[in-house]
Structure 1
Amino acid sequence: MPLQWEQVVVDAADPVTLGRWWAAALDWVVVNDDPDEFEIQPSPGRLPGLIFVPVAEPRTVKNRMHLDFRPQDRDAEVDRLRALGATLADVGQGDVSWVVLADPEGNEFCVLSGRPATDD
């Protein structure tokens, strides 16, 4: 029996605020605004989604898993995300073609370079 990827669960000090930030960053919709299980999806019923759940303890180390995004224009997208409140993050990546950012609660994610055009 195949598995269906339902969602990624994100621990958050403030699930509603962080969930709304990610909804704006991804241009997704809120499908559950419960502060104990705040959920966003690309559109209602479209999976996978992100669900934000409350945790009391603060994050103390680098993420063990993170999300990568590939926009059409990396630099424009980094500027847009920073305007929303993302910050530049240094996780020891050195000189690379992607940009590491952190969301308002410090969760790192990467914005990759755009894909080259193809003649499909």
Structure 2
Amino acid sequence: MGMRFTEICIDARDIHALSSWWSTVLGWPAEATDDGDVALRAPAGAGPDLLFLAVPDDKVVKNRIHFDFTPDDQQAEVDRVLDLGARRVDIGQGEQSWVVLADPEGNEFCILAAE
């Protein structure tokens, strides 16, 4: 029996606003699902889709899992997503080569140094 990794589910108070934000950040198209959720469809070879699920509560603790992104130009991408509404967060990482940011609902993600 085999499995494929097809989706990452993201809880959100406002699935439309958060999925729209991530759609802009990643350049992936958003579409409504039959269940009333919102999916961002990953381009071929880019990884699993992101599925945004409505929840009534706010995020209150540090993520137990997060996204890492490796850009061509770290500072340019940090500046771009900050301009789109991300914010810098300190989760105890100290001085590192990566930058920890949070999306508009507080979900942490990292932008790594360019390779």
> What TM-score do the two structures reach when normalised by structure 1?
0.88
Structural RMSD (CA): 1.8
Tell me if structure 2 keeps the 8 A contact 1:15–1:36: no
Regions of 4+ moved over 6 Å:
none
Across the two proteins, how many residue pairs are aligned to each other? 114
In structure 2, C-alpha distance between the alignment counterparts of 1:14 and 1:67, rounded to whole Å? 20
In structure 2, do the counterparts of structure 1 residues 12 and 35 end up closer, same or farther at CA, with 3 Å as the change threshold?
A: farther
In structure 2, do the counterparts of structure 1 residues 74 and 13 end up closer, same or farther at CA, with 3 Å as the change threshold?
A: same
Any gaps of 5 or more consecutive residues in structure 2?
none
In structure 2, what is the equivalent of residue 32 of structure 1?
A: 32
Q: Does residue 113 of structure 1 match 2:86?
A: no
In structure 2, C-alpha distance between the alignment counterparts of 1:41 and 1:88, rounded to whole Å? 26
Any gaps of 5 or more consecutive residues in structure 1?
116-120
Counting aligned pairs with the same residue, the percent is: 44
Question: Could you report, residue by residue, the CA deviation over 1:53-108 in whole angstroms, capped at 9, with x for unpaired residues?
Answer: 11111111000100000000000000000011000011000000000000000000
SS in 1 for 2:23: helix
